[in-house]
Amino acid sequence: MSELRKKMIRTMQLRNFSPATQKNYVRAVIGLAEHYKRSPDAINPQEIQDYIIHLLNVRKFAVGSCQTIATGLRFFYTVTLGLDNSRVPIPKIRGSRRLPVILGGDQLDRLFASADNIKHRALLMTVYSAGLRVSEVTRLKGSDIDSDRMMIRVEQGKGRKDRYTVLSQRVLEVLRDYWRICNPKLWLFPGYSDQPMSCVNVHYIYTKALKKAGIKISGGIHTLRHCFATHLLEAAVDIRTIQILLGHKLITTTARYLNVTSKTLQGTPSPLDLQQNKRSGSDQ
């Protein structure tokens, strides 16, 4: 390992960055160095910008991936190397915001019924019913299921924060059946060799059940988290409560689900109808 990489990892560890963040940031710098076949401290700002443009326009990286790479490079040059921001003009990459696809109740029932076995069905139902991120469901332990309080403890979620979310009675019954049949040890949904299930495997389970159910939508298993938030809003649950359950730092992040809540949109009259009603009232 080079001295530069050791220094970068050390500066990230001092800031208590998550292992995933450390891995992504180091990978960003390695990608830049491999592209130019030079040490990253010998690459100039123009070349850094050209590299990001190359990722966007030539290699067709997703905007989210490029944003992570740009943030990792910005950290390396401004924090690890201590350069002034003006000397490393790495812009923030703007991306388009797409509204999430929301599954209806019948579609969710079909999805869960299409899961191959009780372990996969329990996993998918847990993700939806508790609004979990894929990285959170893979790290759940049996001890995190609090049936007395009907809550699920999420340990060290995004931002390294613990939180509690709801435990569905229906999911609890499925989890108990799953426990009796599979008897997991430490991890609630273990992968190979009693290690946590990989996020890739969770995505595969979701897409396979989706295909078997005949549901043709875009997006990955994070769709179930979107459904959780949207369906709670439609059930008139307070948005601040939903923010806490989801573990959002900002309530503005949670508020975006108002854009896809059917009851919010359907309850808003068109101005064309308002004008028609106004005229009808004046005619009487």
pTM score of the predicted model: 0.72
Shared domain check, 112 and 224: yes
In a domain, 275, yes or no: no
Shared domain check, 83 and 127: no
* pLDDT level of residue 281 (50, 70, 90 thresholds): low
- pLDDT of residue 154 exceeding 70, the answer is yes
In a domain, 243, yes or no: yes
- pLDDT of residue 25 exceeding 90, the answer is yes
Q: What is the per-residue pLDDT for 203?
A: 96
Residue 45 lies in domain: 3-87
With a pLDDT cut of 70, the percent of the chain lying above it is: 90
* pLDDT level of residue 257 (50, 70, 90 thresholds): confident
Shared domain check, 113 and 74: no
Q: What is the pLDDT of residues 36-81, one digit of tens each?
A: 999 999 999 999 999 999 999 999 988 888 999 999 999 999 999 9
In a domain, 259, yes or no: yes
Shared domain check, 56 and 131: no
Domains: count for the chain: 2
Q: What is the pLDDT of residues 170-206, one digit of tens each?
A: 999 999 999 999 999 999 999 988 899 999 999 999 9
* pLDDT level of residue 114 (50, 70, 90 thresholds): very high
In a domain, 92, yes or no: no
Catalytic residue IDs = 133, 158, 222, 225, 248, 257
Alpha-carbon distance of 109 to 93, in angstroms, equals 38
Crossing angle of helices 63-75 and 19-36, rounded to 10° = 90
- DSSP H or E run through 10: helix 3-14
Shared domain check, 67 and 143: no
User: Could you tell me if 249 and 163 are in contact, meaning their C-beta atoms sit under 8 angstroms apart?
Assistant: no
In a domain, 186, yes or no: yes
Shared domain check, 60 and 127: no
Q: What is the per-residue pLDDT for 100?
A: 80
Q: Where are the alpha helices (DSSP H) in 194-257?
A: 199-212, 222-234, 239-246, 251-255
- pLDDT of residue 99 exceeding 90, the answer is no
Shared domain check, 18 and 129: no
Separate counts of helices (H) and strands (E) for the chain: 14, 3
In a domain, 282, yes or no: no
User: Could you tell me if 170 and 125 are in contact, meaning their C-beta atoms sit under 8 angstroms apart?
Assistant: yes
Shared domain check, 35 and 174: no
Q: What is the per-residue pLDDT for 264?
A: 62
In a domain, 270, yes or no: no
Q: What is the per-residue pLDDT for 255?
A: 87
Shared domain check, 239 and 124: yes
Q: What is the pLDDT of residues 227-237, one digit of tens each?
A: 999 999 888 89
Shared domain check, 252 and 129: yes
Shared domain check, 246 and 157: yes
Q: What is the per-residue pLDDT for 260?
A: 72
* pLDDT level of residue 268 (50, 70, 90 thresholds): low
> Which of 207, 212, 239, 236 lies closest to 224, judged by CA?
207
User: Could you tell me if 78 and 90 are in contact, meaning their C-beta atoms sit under 8 angstroms apart?
Assistant: no
Q: What are the contacts of 266-270 at 24+ separation with CB within 8 A?
A: none
Q: Identify the CATH number of the domain in which residue 48 sits.
A: 1.10.150.130
For the chain, give the mean pLDDT.
89
Q: Identify the CATH number of the domain in which residue 230 sits.
A: 1.10.443.10
